[in-house]
Structure 1
């Protein structure tokens, strides 16, 4: 494989000569110079966002590469720059003409000139001068066989332009054919084969410099985007590197293989590739200084690899050694990143954070908790102007504020600061994760509609510039949110389409599989299909070991729901208590998770007939959730509290609680909670009619009518119920049409409960036709297993 010279670079040399001689129109000189400057770099003119574009750019043929020159006029009337360049290219009829071209270009590059007699030409220090000098040096180094191979590749490369040149220059083409020019006949003979298989023709002659550029770009994309190489790109790389013997490129090959094996979940192969990469790097960069530099980055990658495969103890040990080496070598960038990663390790697995350095802030002579460590990292990031570290540290600080102290408004302030840094310093890879953090914060404040838009923005705004992990996380949240509102079919379609995008990345495939199973399990529970629910939960159970806290929490919730569906209340209570004790012992535990388990505990007590025990738990949970602005937990606790108040015959208090909470419950966009709130409110009105109203009075009739309307609203989800809610419905009609309750959720148990209440209310009113209709719906629902929801 050649070191630098390729046919595309040979074509650029005559173009530079034409530009220097002034054979372009004055209006096109700047455009031609911009084109030349972009071609002097192998990856010039590329946006850096798509690796497929870069491979096509490096392997493009002469027609597609030089065709852009047709839009610019030359100094010859009726001819453009492409025409005169073709004339110059087809003047080359052998190796001797190629040698003459390099000799002429060498003379164009002037050395240091005397002030008395300056020589025209390019400066040796100019970009074009450096490019020409390098091409000349590389051509001089070529052996004769390599020169012949370069000429043969050049003939093949320019062959597709033969017809265009012959049409514009028929006399020259005929003369060369009569003279029996081998370059013309050979070029004409390969035109058809190049047109049929352009990639094979171009891929046979790539330089080491191009391969190294593509490898470096591929590694950068893998690090930034967290994805894997496309099969087409991988095939081209394997073809180009087949005859590659340069040890520097070999080390990059192993580094590329490290990322491929890592994302594929092949822990042993990734570890071996990482060791080989740094072994080759040390061979290429001889010397003790280089060894120390490569060693600390080897430890950094090793720690990240261990953590991704849940080897937390090994990860902390590798990171401690990386910190010690970085401090010894005074590598500030590596040290700051290692400290930030050590803080993440201590937060992810607090039980495994034993480190000889103690806390992160202790390295700088300070002492304190995680807030002090975050402050220490922020100071260091500002001192070194490491803006990506500062932005990510601000996001970590917002996470601490949300989890430990529950200060969501302050967390939103830190997220806004991080977003400002991302825009100011063009940190594109951190913009999607900032949106995800902001969406999670708004979810806690009960603003689900805004959070949904932020999750949608990750794909709509950033697209391919967003890391694949952020795209998958946002899409999974959207899909699971739709499933909780009864749109299970749409949710599964989104997850199926997402699976092809994350193909080959083990962690992301596991996450998508987990949310797919959660959606199917939720649908089975709504349909009272316990056998299917057991099957899906058995498939979900192994996913708990993959270290995804968000997925693990959702699986725990579905396990408790499954136990409640089975009426195994004692076992459900034991599991809830176990989770509560575990979270209580963790300093970095999410306060929202702890409060949610308390709500489930109160719900279990209410279901088991021990309403008094559940009352205090629900009341304390609602009070704490209101204090820390956790609106979903607050509203769920209020719903459970209202049900407990109904059991305690406090129907008026239950009605007041739910009527105050219903507007916020609508904003929360949780269909099941909405249905439960309406049914509980209907029960409260029934209780008021029976205990606080005179028998047979109009007030009792009105309350019973309101109870029936609320219960029917919980079953069918029809709009328009009370004057207070009518205002909200008119404002949010478009949003509320997407919300569904028991009917759209296909919640069979909920619909049966509503139909039973509807029949009892109709029987109280003496409406036999309504009783018969409700009973018929009830029997039909039992008969077809939830297939009809009329």
Structure 2
């Protein structure tokens, strides 16, 4: 394998020579130049995929045919491809190959001492390349690399070139009358050597063998291709496709010297596959070779990658030790880039694993999170690391949502600052996290359609540029939102439609599996399918500690499951345990408020709603101050329910009238059904206080029926058979109070029908 020169590059050099000699018409010059330049540095092309990059390195003759056969030359009746074939087949001996590279000097602009002499020797129509232009630099390097080749390597290049141009032999014979007298080597005709000669077998014995991919690529090509793959793997967080892996194995395998970057690419691929041992070995191999070549200046980067690797595999104590050593080494070597990234990753550990990082905070090894973020922003500005500055601003926005008094205002301020940096510096990879943060803020405000719209923007506008993890978070968030509104099939379809390549990464596959389990658990709970819900919950209870969002949702649904099941003591223990854990970790305020609302619901389920009054009131007050409106609406609903139990029906009605329209805009179907049910209870209480057979009593009962029907529709939409049956029972009770026994029996029969249909559907699912 040559260090730089390959047969495709000889074809590109021939095209450059034709252009400089003026043999290409003016109409085709731009197309030829675009073709040449696009294949000089293919990995730098924005948005190019892996397959295209491989074809660019192993450029076959057919690509030359497609690009030049339709372009006319200055010779009538001949295309550029005809001239190119003539130029390639004019290199008819090993000596002619040397002359071809020696003649490249005529294409370059000479030094000042030779300007006058070259102006007389060069033809007037010839185009001279500047030595610093892209084409000039390519010609200079090709000539220099050929002079550096040893005889054995030059002979291999000659044999590969003969194999490379052999598909055009038939076209050359059709287009040229001189082709019949020319073979691939004119010396064979002059010496009269046959194919059975020993000399022929020694020189050209491998000529009949098919050309391999390693003969069409150089070490420089492979290194640039590996750098392109490493950038893709780092930026998008995915695994290498099977086809690309086979192509790289075919190109790198036969090489005498394996590029050290191949170990780095193998490390990323093994890491994403969940193969800890192989990832660990390849990381050591890469940095062992790298430090030998670069005098150990990259030791801190080895530690940084080691910390990230240990974190992903759950070895948090080793990761914390590695990241602390990374910070110390980066400070010692004055590597501000590595230091800033290390501090950013340490801040990520603080947010993702607060329980494990509490010990470090107690030891005083790092300050508060806000102090760390302020220091990180300052250093990012000084070193002009705008990507890190943008992520630090988004982390501060996330921190404002968790603790700040004016959380929403401050969060929006930091989000728009990060957005300004992303647009100004053209950081396409930063838009995903920014839009996800937008979605989280609008979800906190209860504007669910905007929250879903921002996730949809990621999938439809920025999908090629955002990391796969952020794209997957958007899909999971949208699917769980759809499941909460009762669209279970759509939610499952969204998760199952994720392309198969994403499942090859262990962490991503586990995330998709976890959210699929959450959707099915929510569906089984609402259908009162206890067996399925217990089975799914048991599977979800283990193996998802790596994802804090998943873990929080699993615990919340677990509490809801025990409340619906009637295991109130178990649900109360889970709430207390989780509340103490969140209090110690200073977690997001919305999570702690949710636990307060769950405690109020627990008291209501136990038949003692008055005990939950102070809890619900505190949750509502805090949620309103922090603008966590979905939790605020639910807390107001339970306060109204408690007021109804205290015979304060009018106050309960007015409170529910204030929050129900906002809840409808949010799209939380289950919460809307619950609030409608509470409103129906309030109107029935008002009816009980009104005069007998009075107009007010009739109006209140009618209103109660309307809200019961609305609650029933919402329960039916989310397939909550128990809630639907409860609403039908209330309609039957109202009919009985009115004295209409036939209507009451009809409602009771309909309730029994819904219950039997639900049981039959569950049996069919089990079968």
Fold conserved between structures, TM > 0.5: yes
1:638-653 equivalences in 2 (<5 Å): 638-653=636-651
Q: Contact 2:495 / 2:512 at 8 angstroms: preserved in 1?
A: yes
Q: Contact 1:639 / 1:677 at 8 angstroms: preserved in 2?
A: yes
Q: Distance in 2 between matches of 1:307 and 1:788?
A: 44
Q: Contact 1:611 / 1:648 at 8 angstroms: preserved in 2?
A: no
Q: Distance in 1 between matches of 2:535 and 2:353?
A: 30
Q: Contact 1:387 / 1:425 at 8 angstroms: preserved in 2?
A: yes
Q: Contact 1:109 / 1:122 at 8 angstroms: preserved in 2?
A: yes
Deviation at 1:164, TM superposition (A): 4.5
Task: State the secondary structure of the residue aligned to 2:118.
Answer: coil
- The aligned residue for residue 39 of structure 2 is 39
- The aligned residue for residue 744 of structure 1 is 717
Deviation at 1:131, TM superposition (A): 2.1
- The aligned residue for residue 233 of structure 2 is 222
Q: Contact 2:236 / 2:468 at 8 angstroms: preserved in 1?
A: yes
Deviates further, 549-558 or 49-58: 49-58
- The aligned residue for residue 393 of structure 1 is 392
1:559-638 equivalences in 2 (<5 Å): 559-587=558-586, 589-638=587-636
Task: State the secondary structure of the residue aligned to 2:692.
Answer: coil
Q: Distance in 1 between matches of 2:29 and 2:51?
A: 31
Deviates further, 60-69 or 516-525: 60-69
Q: Distance in 2 between matches of 1:171 and 1:768?
A: 107
Deviation at 1:172, TM superposition (A): 3.6
- The aligned residue for residue 725 of structure 1 is none
- The aligned residue for residue 655 of structure 1 is 653
- The aligned residue for residue 770 of structure 1 is 743
Could you give the per-residue CA deviations for residues 380-425 of structure 1, whole angstroms, max 9, x where no partner exists?
1112111011101100110110011251221012111111111111
Q: Distance in 2 between matches of 1:79 and 1:634?
A: 79
Could you give the per-residue CA deviations for residues 272-326 of structure 1, whole angstroms, max 9, x where no partner exists?
22111111112333xxxx31x2111111111111222222222222112111111
1:335-734 equivalences in 2 (<5 Å): 335-353=339-357, 354=359, 369-405=368-404, 407-498=407-498, 500-545=500-545, 547-587=546-586, 589-691=587-689, 693-716=690-713
Deviation at 1:77, TM superposition (A): 3.3
Could you give the per-residue CA deviations for residues 731-766 of structure 1, whole angstroms, max 9, x where no partner exists?
xxxxxxxxxx21121111101101111111222233
Relative to structure 1, is the Cα distance of residues 298 and 151 closer, same or farther in structure 2, using a 3 angstrom cutoff? same
- The aligned residue for residue 243 of structure 1 is 254
Q: Distance in 1 between matches of 2:390 and 2:495?
A: 30
Could you give the per-residue CA deviations for residues 13-65 of structure 1, whole angstroms, max 9, x where no partner exists?
11111122122223444443343333333536x32442222112222311224
Relative to structure 1, is the Cα distance of residues 775 and 125 closer, same or farther in structure 2, using a 3 angstrom cutoff? closer
Relative to structure 1, is the Cα distance of residues 610 and 179 closer, same or farther in structure 2, using a 3 angstrom cutoff? closer
Q: Contact 1:499 / 1:512 at 8 angstroms: preserved in 2?
A: no
Give unmatched runs, 5+ long, in structure 1: 187-196, 363-367, 717-740
Q: Distance in 2 between matches of 1:108 and 1:453?
A: 56
Could you give the per-residue CA deviations for residues 311-354 of structure 1, whole angstroms, max 9, x where no partner exists?
22222221121111111211111111112222222333334445
Deviation at 1:539, TM superposition (A): 0.6
Task: State the secondary structure of the residue aligned to 1:687.
Answer: helix
Relative to structure 1, is the Cα distance of residues 53 and 420 closer, same or farther in structure 2, using a 3 angstrom cutoff? same
Task: State the secondary structure of the residue aligned to 2:39.
Answer: helix
TM-score, normalised on structure 1? Answer: 0.88
Q: Distance in 1 between matches of 2:42 and 2:620?
A: 62
Q: Distance in 1 between matches of 2:118 and 2:31?
A: 26
Deviation at 1:375, TM superposition (A): 1.8
Q: Distance in 2 between matches of 1:326 and 1:179?
A: 59
Deviation at 1:459, TM superposition (A): 1.0
TM-score, normalised on structure 2? Answer: 0.91
- The aligned residue for residue 122 of structure 2 is none
Deviates further, 67-76 or 614-623: 67-76
Relative to structure 1, is the Cα distance of residues 520 and 341 closer, same or farther in structure 2, using a 3 angstrom cutoff? same
- The aligned residue for residue 4 of structure 2 is 4
Q: Distance in 2 between matches of 1:357 and 1:643?
A: 43
Relative to structure 1, is the Cα distance of residues 115 and 14 closer, same or farther in structure 2, using a 3 angstrom cutoff? closer
Q: Contact 1:225 / 1:466 at 8 angstroms: preserved in 2?
A: yes
Deviation at 1:711, TM superposition (A): 0.5
Q: Distance in 2 between matches of 1:146 and 1:709?
A: 88
Relative to structure 1, is the Cα distance of residues 699 and 215 closer, same or farther in structure 2, using a 3 angstrom cutoff? same
Task: State the secondary structure of the residue aligned to 1:542.
Answer: coil
Give unmatched runs, 5+ long, in structure 2: 120-127, 196-208, 763-767
1:143-154 equivalences in 2 (<5 Å): 143-154=150-161
Q: Distance in 2 between matches of 1:683 and 1:590?
A: 34
Relative to structure 1, is the Cα distance of residues 680 and 345 closer, same or farther in structure 2, using a 3 angstrom cutoff? same
Which one of the candidate residues 159, 177, 182 is aligned to 1:171?
177
Q: Distance in 1 between matches of 2:52 and 2:653?
A: 62
Deviation at 1:472, TM superposition (A): 0.7
